Amino acid sequence: MLDGRRVLIVEDEALVALELTEIVTGSNAHAVGPARTNREALALIEFEEIDVAILDLNLADGEATPTAECLIGKGVPVLICTGGVLPRAMRLMWPDLPILRKPLNPERLVEALGALCAEPVGGGRH
């Protein structure tokens, strides 16, 4: 389902980032990152090929809106993984943004990423 896909992981909690990396690599995908901050994520987006992204909402340097904007603007599908609630501004900008609640179920995570990779990307980088 994720064979060979490049999955950006944006998560500031080290243990959760490690778990996400293990799930991604265990699904025969390549983990890009993890990035702890918007700044790190934006640098990775600039220099790495990315097929899909896992994005925590609350990062070490604030809300992940700048990273989400950049990814979505490039046509990269984004999956939000959070224990919180999607901020109102993000709900208004992207009402169909997929969200998984923490704690994560690895099978559901892989299924959600696979579904995002299967969707046609508008204005993507392929």
> What CATH number is given to the structural domain containing 70?
3.40.50.2300
Q: Which residues are within 8 A (CB) of 64 and not within 5 positions of it... i.e. 6 or more apart?
A: 10, 38, 41, 55, 56, 57, 58
Question: Is position 125 within any domain?
Answer: no
Res 83: pLDDT = 84
Q: Model pTM?
A: 0.91
Residue 65: pLDDT over 70 = yes
Total structural domains in the chain?
Answer: 1
Q: Which amino acid is at 80?
A: I
Question: Is position 37 within any domain?
Answer: yes
3-state DSSP assignment of residue 58:
strand
Cα–Cα distance measured from residue 26 to residue 69, given in angstroms and rounded to the nearest whole number: 28
Res 121: pLDDT = 47
The domain of 59 spans 6-117
126 pLDDT tier (thresholds 50, 70, 90): very low
Question: Is position 88 within any domain?
Answer: yes
Beta-bridge partners for 7: 31, 52
pLDDT, mean of residues 36-47: 97
Question: Is position 124 within any domain?
Answer: no
Res 120: pLDDT = 56
